[in-house]
Structure 1
């Protein structure tokens, strides 16, 4: 009687431990209050400062537009090129020293500047070297899409580019196919580039307060890594039903093996 009882206890333990808790699969939980409530959370986003390898889209407009054709890429070299390819060839890439090279204006250091500050720098340089105030210079500087990479326990691994000014972590993950139940939503890693190197930041996507995190909005060249849960390494199912099937299969194999040995 003791052996079947011990086997039953062992199977129940495996069953309970190997299941992924329901709360670990949910995003944006209100962990500070017992009841649901509507909270107003202030998003924290600082202006993005340009980094090495960023690609900038720069457009210059003046009263006589023919005078600025040399500054504005035509973008018709390859009509079959994708938007990303055109952005690469027509844009201005920030080199390892933080500089971009603009026709007639030469090198301009943009490392650590916001796009608004770069617009002002270009306008001042144009007024000092090329035009007068009466030219009515208008400069726009934008990032040529927000490029990021996802890998680990996520449905869509690889590099993606979204053509919008800001993207939060949930939008990035949704565009990567979402995180499966076997992915650790409580400790998602964001590897971010800084002038002094790369840093790793941790965020908990199951906590509603993630929207107040300074890393809630991703930045160009971010890498998002999702760690697998231990349950995946154990090779068990993610739900109770899957575990029942796995346990039944194991019991069937054990029973068959015992019967075969008894007949020998």
Structure 2
């Protein structure tokens, strides 16, 4: 009788362990990217516009044939020694911080409203203000010095990443972060963005090819990408250690089997 009861207990233990094992397994359909839907080529666009926003740090360089005419508009930022009252180090191009009103204080011209404009629109605005009164045929180059995106949540290397060329897709951002862990939810990737002074949240499904037509396929400066962990990962993280979790589950299983076999 005792052997029979132990055999029954063993069967229950095997059954319960099997349920736990297979319920924790990850299916291919949950992790393979771009497996669903078709790509609507009519909606795919390779065009991308950088929109100027508050807190952007801009490098604005003005060039022209008349080098003396552009000098006042290319101010150098230098560090001065308090003891000798002289410049220290190599002079660098001064950056312009876009304030909360979307304005910068530009040399000679003064306050200019550029927030919400694309890079091309800002270039055209500056050209109209500079030519022909100040500079003839100016060339204007604008770069965002602090262009960065952040990826955090259930990825291999969460963090903030500076993007030198100011152009990055959500897939490239995920690659920078070392890709999603297997426990990361691929169907509900969140992208937080500021648009016109408001916080906007988008949802992206990495399993669908529709991502290529998403408004957040190309990320903008200061976008935040969040990867939600699945239920199993959350449950695992709630325990203090793997050992204590295993002991607790084992004790629970033994108790259940004992009750079922009485």
TM-score bin, normalised by smaller chain:
0.7 to 0.9
Mapping 1:69-88, distance limit 5 Å = 69-74=71-76
Contact 2:190 2:227 in 1 (8 A): yes
Q: TM-score, normalised by structure 2?
A: 0.76
Deviations, residues 119-157 of structure 1 (Å, cap 9, x unaligned): 1111111126523xxx22222223235311122112222
Verify: 1:22 aligned to 2:28, yes or no.
Answer: yes
Partner of 2:127: 123
The CA distance in 2 between the partners of 1:153 and 1:58, in whole Å, is 38
The CA distance in 2 between the partners of 1:152 and 1:213, in whole Å, is 21
Among 87, 96, 100, the residue aligned to 1:96: 100
| Aligned partner of residue 183 in structure 1, secondary structure | coil
Aligned residue-pair number: 232
Mapping 1:61-76, distance limit 5 Å = 61-74=63-76
Deviations, residues 140-183 of structure 1 (Å, cap 9, x unaligned): 22323531112211222222111113100111111122221121
The CA distance in 1 between the partners of 2:51 and 2:59, in whole Å, is 15
RMSD (Å) for aligned C-alpha atoms: 3.2
Q: TM-score, normalised by structure 1?
A: 0.76
Partner of 1:217: 218
| Aligned partner of residue 99 in structure 2, secondary structure | coil
Deviations, residues 224-264 of structure 1 (Å, cap 9, x unaligned): 1111111212329xxxxxxxx99xx769966xx99xxxxxx
Contact 1:45 1:217 in 2 (8 A): no
Contact 2:148 2:160 in 1 (8 A): yes
Deviations, residues 193-223 of structure 1 (Å, cap 9, x unaligned): 1123111111011222211111111000101
The CA distance in 1 between the partners of 2:102 and 2:113, in whole Å, is 6
| Structure showing greater relative contact order (alpha-carbon pairs closer than 8 Å, 6 or more residues apart) | 1
Which protein has the larger Cα radius of gyration, Structure 1 or Structure 2?
A: 2
Which sections of structure 2, spanning at least 5 residues, go unmatched?
Answer: 1-6, 80-87, 256-262
The CA distance in 2 between the partners of 1:26 and 1:138, in whole Å, is 47
